Amino acid sequence: MDEQPPSAIRPALATDLRQASWRRRALLLGVVAWLVYEWGPGNETVTPWLLARLLRDHEGWPAIVVTVSVGIAFTTVQQLLSGATALAGFALFERTAAAAWQRLTAHRGSPPPAWRSLGWAARAALAFGLGTTAVALVEVVGSGQAKAADHRRAVVASALLCGGIVGAIAGATSLLVVLGRQVSGLRGPTDRLLDVLGSPWTWLGLLVVLAIVRRVRNRTTARTSDPITPDRVGQVRGS
């Protein structure tokens, strides 16, 4: 590649799209769709909504079995699809991969290490927090080996790990719901809480609040770390 990859995803994506065939364009758009879904509010909105609806529609111990089973299966299949798409796309489109890598690095504050070098706690945080798209990106860009087949094991492992985490959360939550419904005074509040948790607006609103807090914190950090130059001193005195 002759030119330096753009630091932003949009110009990198536009360049790769212009230079790709129609088949490869479809693959690249699939990668971007998964990035938006997993790194944005999609994953945090759809999965809680689905699990809350299952708990709302099932009673007793079957509610636990159904919720855990669907949570594991839905998450694992979803993560396998996103990881396979990301592996193929990042292996073909260097500009988009480099731009996504820079964004991931900026988000973490440092380059993420390879999957095989992480402990299980760090693997769980990466897989659950950013999904298999991030794992695929780390494997392709971090290792410098673009062949998708070399990284399938890491993607499959991260998908299974993420599915297990969601299943554990679903099991604990559904157990609390079942126990709460067995107490007459708690059944009403439990069902109302499920209505709140099952609404996508709840999770979208939470993500918006977190994004605002993060932006305010970043601006505050930038101001405090901005060096005081003679020009700035003069501006402060003049004001």
Indicate if the pLDDT at residue 172 is higher than 60: yes
- pLDDT for residue 74: 95
Answer for the pair 67, 170: CB distance below 8 angstroms, yes or no.
yes
Indicate if the pLDDT at residue 197 is higher than 90: no
Indicate if the pLDDT at residue 7 is higher than 60: no
Neighbour count for residue 120 (Cβ, 10 Å): 8
Answer for the pair 123, 164: CB distance below 8 angstroms, yes or no.
no
- pLDDT for residue 145: 64
Per the prediction, the chain carries an average pLDDT of 80
- Tokens, residue 158: 């991260």
Q: Is 205 helix (H, G, I), strand (E, B) or coil?
A: helix
Provide the CB-side half-sphere exposure for 221 (13 A, CA): 6
Average pLDDT over residues 60-68: 92
Distance between CA atoms of 55 and 204, rounded to whole angstroms? Answer: 20
At 85-116, the pLDDT tens digits run: 998 888 888 888 888 888 777 766 777 777 88
Region label for 60, one of left (φ > 0), alpha (ψ between -120 and 50) or beta (otherwise): left
